[in-house]
Amino acid sequence: MNVNYEAKEKLLLLEITEEIDHHTSEKIRRKADYEITRYMPRKVIFDFHHVTFMDSAGIGIVLGRYKMMKMLGGSLELINVSPMLKKIFEMSGITKICPLKEIS
């Protein structure tokens, strides 16, 4: 996972660079939690541009970080979501709480 932080806007960009399944989810979760507590951003953006596969573990990652950001008074956004992942997010209801943006 690649991490970029913009101090001016208190924006944390987490670019996921691997498949998200039960084998990789714990590593992604730990890294995301570490970076969020390290920077205390106002907004976290997950970039799914390089994600070719995601199972229910990815839903858990997004929901957990959404709850964490709400507790910290911030927000969570998802960008570059493929049509396959968009369908998963829609079916799980995540699109009702986290906006999806089309940015490349």
The CATH number of the domain holding residue 19 is: 3.30.750.24
Structural element, H or E, at residue 100: strand 100-101
Closest CA to 14 of 87, 89, 27, 23: 27
Q: Which domain holds residue 58?
A: 2-101
Give dist(CA 89, CA 81) in Å, integer.
9
Reported as a single tens digit per residue, the pLDDT across 16-56 is: 999 999 999 999 999 999 999 999 999 999 999 999 999 99
**Token pair of 44 as six digits:** 């976290």
Read off the pLDDT band of 103 (50, 70, 90): confident
Q: How many domains does the chain have?
A: 1
Reported as a single tens digit per residue, the pLDDT across 51-87 is: 999 999 999 999 999 999 999 999 999 999 999 999 9
